[in-house]
Chains A and B, each alone.
Chain A
């Protein structure tokens, strides 16, 4: 979204000479519109962030006084063997959810971009998982996967009666499956929009050159979706850092600490162990990782000012 706005602004003066005065007014009104968002961001984003940063240099049990304690909390967090493990689980979930979601979302998106009626109906059906709350989804899947009372035991299907949430790697697999199941519709929607933006003329030209459907997909659709892929991947990757509700209800980080991602580790440290200092330090690490990943993905996108539609 943010990548599109400057491109639109820049192309506006170039398109016609008389648009110059008009764009000045529009820019001023845009500044006005940014103000509420900016205020909200400062109030609910920047100020709490500063608070968390300050808290990470203190010792606080959530009840008593907040005492400054220098780097104690950071030392405790950075020397805790739980941190590398939580980071590993976080990146594992991030990578695997991306690998599962991206190809399926692109394919579904490209499919749904067609104009036929039945596709509209399918699009609506595909969209349903996204409308459900994560907590409700987690409770449902937990019940379905229960080894003693779940689907496997009910239907007498031994392969479904695995100890799904009780074995470390199976539990990670279930988390990735449920996350993908929930969010593929959302990303498919983004790709659907992306595919519809591709000029039909390109496909017509390819058809004349004798390219088949598969060739068209790999030579036109995929390259044209570059920025859509970056947008969707940014959402996936940064979003996966904050998976909390689903995992908390589904496995509570277990079995043992097999699915304890960074966000969960932060909650447990802060609100179950009453260690607000170390929890704030983990929160800072979470923010830094998120910012670094978002920046990295933007860099991967290359020079965002060059237009793909004209240049291709």
Chain B
């Protein structure tokens, strides 16, 4: 009835809320203060996992999603059981959310002590802003930790010759997959060269089967084609030039050749109808392959587990064919070369206290990729980046795991995915132009011009 009465009550309620939020800010500020070095005597030598002195609770952020999530959790739990006074507290994030969150948190000085990442361009940005710890001396003092890992994994962990991240988890090269049932039905053989691919395209189209599955809306899915094709035509040097900021690096004639070949494949209806609206996150691209709607697919080794789980008897029935990307006749690239993700990367925040840093280093040297974890990765259908981890392979997945292990360890060059290797700005321009290339809305020459503009920015 009385309006002034209600408004006052509303105002009081608001005032209460304001008080609440003020105290919340206070709590947040206190949290921020927690990252300051508080443990007495922690200023001592930051020697690796040996000395127990000066370790303290640390925080660790990583990605959710099974089966990787459970393996990451288990490793932390084993470490915490062994080191009850230096427990690691972890927080899990969904992939895309994490990419934004970790940047904002590190920028605001609220990041975790252990940063889970992809190495390459993202790591370079952290290093440039002095946000991550230099681990070069840690690895020279703990040579055993370094020597048992794949050497190819360290390239994306290094910036200007110094190591800023611990390579971890699994190696996932990009694989050329095909559906054996569909190949038998059409009566053709898997391609050995690019010419074979172009010859297969009309045969599959005539049979009403899409030659290649592709989740083109995700854009990096298209990028895998460019990475492989450029490597097969000209070797890894062309991208290396662009990566290291050499002006006009994309003007190499091999790039135009590669882009023209890609557009020829698009024009020949090489990719599934509607590929530009299919996302990789939905796994619809995998479904197209195992349901036989598409004959072939170029995709990461990580899709094997999903196809095994979702594809019915597709994988267990031996219908999945796999190999390295076909050669290009007359191309300079070594056909054993591969591209993809050489590893995952764990960094230590430069803002962490010495105690937290010591805990993280102990975690790296004692728990990360211990025998239990290596076994867990093998069981999940992945290859841990440890030399000799192939001894753990057994059962039905062993042939595929051995193929990945051999591909990764025999590759003359293992190039990191372009969008991970480049800084975010250049990566976004790259993905944008790749999408337009596949859309046929820009010419190969326009692609080259657009990409040359962002080199070295």
The reply to whether A273 and B429 form a contact with Cβ atoms under 8 Å apart is yes
B358 to chain A, nearest CB (A): 25
Specify which of A64, A166, A252, A257 is in contact with B436 (CB 8 Å cutoff).
Answer: A257
The reply to whether A147 and B273 form a contact with Cβ atoms under 8 Å apart is yes
The reply to whether B276 and A255 form a contact with Cβ atoms under 8 Å apart is yes
A-side contacts of B274, CB under 8 Å: 146-148, 163-166
A32-B435 CB under 8 A given contacts A146-B277, A254-B217: no
The answer to the question of A84 belonging to the interface, with a C-beta cut-off of 8 Å to chain B, is no
B interface footprint on A142-168 (CB within 8 Å = 1, 0 otherwise): 100111110000000000000111101
The answer to the question of B24 belonging to the interface, with a C-beta cut-off of 8 Å to chain A, is no
> Looking at chain A, what size class is its interface with the partner chain?
35 or more
The reply to whether A148 and B288 form a contact with Cβ atoms under 8 Å apart is yes
The answer to the question of A268 belonging to the interface, with a C-beta cut-off of 8 Å to chain B, is yes
The reply to whether A251 and B125 form a contact with Cβ atoms under 8 Å apart is no
The answer to the question of B57 belonging to the interface, with a C-beta cut-off of 8 Å to chain A, is no
Measured CB to CB, the nearest residue on chain B to A81 is B450
Bound-state CA distance A81–B226 (Å) is 24
Bound-state CA distance A152–B3 (Å) is 57
The reply to whether B277 and A274 form a contact with Cβ atoms under 8 Å apart is no
The reply to whether B424 and A61 form a contact with Cβ atoms under 8 Å apart is yes
A12 to chain B, nearest CB (A): 14
Chain B, range 1-44, C-beta contacts under 8 Å to A: 3-4, 7-8, 10-11, 14
The reply to whether B7 and A33 form a contact with Cβ atoms under 8 Å apart is yes
A-side contacts of B197, CB under 8 Å: none
Bound-state CA distance A29–B5 (Å) is 10
Chain B, range 393-452, C-beta contacts under 8 Å to A: 423-425, 427-429, 432, 435-436, 439, 441
Report which residue of A148, A255, A257 has the largest number of chain B beta carbons within 10 angstroms of its beta carbon. Answer: A148
A-side contacts of B14, CB under 8 Å: 36
B-side contacts of A268, CB under 8 Å: 428
The reply to whether B7 and A29 form a contact with Cβ atoms under 8 Å apart is yes
Bound-state CA distance A224–B216 (Å) is 50
A32-B278 CB under 8 A given contacts A63-B107, A64-B129, A254-B217: no
B-side contacts of A269, CB under 8 Å: 428
Q: Helix, strand, loop or mixed for chain A's interface?
A: loop
Bound-state CA distance A165–B104 (Å) is 32
Bound-state CA distance A273–B433 (Å) is 13
B53 to chain A, nearest CB (A): 32
A163-B277 CB under 8 A given contacts A36-B14, A149-B287: yes
The reply to whether A256 and B436 form a contact with Cβ atoms under 8 Å apart is yes
Chain A, range 63-101, C-beta contacts under 8 Å to B: 63-65
A-side contacts of B425, CB under 8 Å: 61, 273-275
The answer to the question of A272 belonging to the interface, with a C-beta cut-off of 8 Å to chain B, is yes
A interface footprint on B175-199 (CB within 8 Å = 1, 0 otherwise): 0000000000000000000000000
A148-B436 CB under 8 A given contacts A61-B424, A63-B126, A256-B441: no
A-side contacts of B217, CB under 8 Å: 165, 251-252, 254-255
Measured CB to CB, the nearest residue on chain A to B129 is A64
Measured CB to CB, the nearest residue on chain B to A29 is B4
The answer to the question of B247 belonging to the interface, with a C-beta cut-off of 8 Å to chain A, is no
A63-B4 CB under 8 A given contacts A146-B284, A274-B125: no
The answer to the question of B261 belonging to the interface, with a C-beta cut-off of 8 Å to chain A, is no
The answer to the question of A62 belonging to the interface, with a C-beta cut-off of 8 Å to chain B, is yes
> Looking at chain B, what size class is its interface with the partner chain?
35 or more
The reply to whether A271 and B106 form a contact with Cβ atoms under 8 Å apart is no
B164 to chain A, nearest CB (A): 14
Report which residue of B4, B10, B126, B288 has the largest number of chain A beta carbons within 10 angstroms of its beta carbon. Answer: B4
A-side contacts of B287, CB under 8 Å: 149
A-side contacts of B278, CB under 8 Å: 146, 148
B interface footprint on A260-288 (CB within 8 Å = 1, 0 otherwise): 00000000110111110000000000000
The reply to whether A32 and B428 form a contact with Cβ atoms under 8 Å apart is no
Measured CB to CB, the nearest residue on chain A to B441 is A256
Task: Count how many pairs of residues, one from A and one from B, have CB atoms less than 8 Å apart in the complex.
Answer: 111
The reply to whether B275 and A166 form a contact with Cβ atoms under 8 Å apart is yes
A-side contacts of B107, CB under 8 Å: 62-64
B-side contacts of A164, CB under 8 Å: 274, 277
A-side contacts of B146, CB under 8 Å: none
The reply to whether A256 and B435 form a contact with Cβ atoms under 8 Å apart is yes
A257 to chain B, nearest CB (A): 7
The reply to whether B125 and A272 form a contact with Cβ atoms under 8 Å apart is no
B-side contacts of A32, CB under 8 Å: 4, 7-8, 11
The answer to the question of B87 belonging to the interface, with a C-beta cut-off of 8 Å to chain A, is no
Bound-state CA distance A35–B7 (Å) is 11
A-side contacts of B429, CB under 8 Å: 273
The reply to whether A148 and B103 form a contact with Cβ atoms under 8 Å apart is no
Measured CB to CB, the nearest residue on chain B to A82 is B432
Bound-state CA distance A129–B2 (Å) is 38
The reply to whether A63 and B288 form a contact with Cβ atoms under 8 Å apart is no
Measured CB to CB, the nearest residue on chain B to A33 is B7
The answer to the question of B100 belonging to the interface, with a C-beta cut-off of 8 Å to chain A, is yes
Report which residue of A65, A146, A268, A274 has the largest number of chain B beta carbons within 10 angstroms of its beta carbon. Answer: A274
Measured CB to CB, the nearest residue on chain A to B126 is A63
B97 to chain A, nearest CB (A): 11
B424 to chain A, nearest CB (A): 4
B-side contacts of A62, CB under 8 Å: 103-104, 107
A93 to chain B, nearest CB (A): 18
A-side contacts of B276, CB under 8 Å: 163, 165-166, 254-256
B126 to chain A, nearest CB (A): 7
B-side contacts of A149, CB under 8 Å: 284, 287
The reply to whether A63 and B106 form a contact with Cβ atoms under 8 Å apart is yes
Chain A, range 243-257, C-beta contacts under 8 Å to B: 251-252, 254-257
Report which residue of B7, B100, B276, B425 has the largest number of chain A beta carbons within 10 angstroms of its beta carbon. Answer: B276
The answer to the question of B272 belonging to the interface, with a C-beta cut-off of 8 Å to chain A, is yes
Measured CB to CB, the nearest residue on chain A to B442 is A256
A-side contacts of B8, CB under 8 Å: 32
The answer to the question of B293 belonging to the interface, with a C-beta cut-off of 8 Å to chain A, is yes
Bound-state CA distance A268–B96 (Å) is 13
Measured CB to CB, the nearest residue on chain B to A271 is B100
The reply to whether B128 and A274 form a contact with Cβ atoms under 8 Å apart is no
The answer to the question of B131 belonging to the interface, with a C-beta cut-off of 8 Å to chain A, is yes
Bound-state CA distance A163–B278 (Å) is 10
B-side contacts of A274, CB under 8 Å: 103, 125, 423-425
A257-B432 CB under 8 A given contacts A63-B131, A272-B424: yes
B428 to chain A, nearest CB (A): 4
A256 to chain B, nearest CB (A): 4
Bound-state CA distance A143–B211 (Å) is 22
Report which residue of A33, A61, A63, A142 has the largest number of chain B beta carbons within 10 angstroms of its beta carbon. Answer: A63
The reply to whether B277 and A61 form a contact with Cβ atoms under 8 Å apart is no
* The 8 residue pairs across chains A and B that have the minimum distance between CB atoms: A165-B277, A147-B274, A273-B428, A64-B129, A255-B276, A274-B424, A256-B439, A166-B276
11 contacts across the A-B interface (CB closer than 8 A):
A61-B125, A61-B424, A148-B288, A148-B293, A163-B274, A166-B273, A254-B435, A257-B432, A272-B428, A273-B424, A274-B425
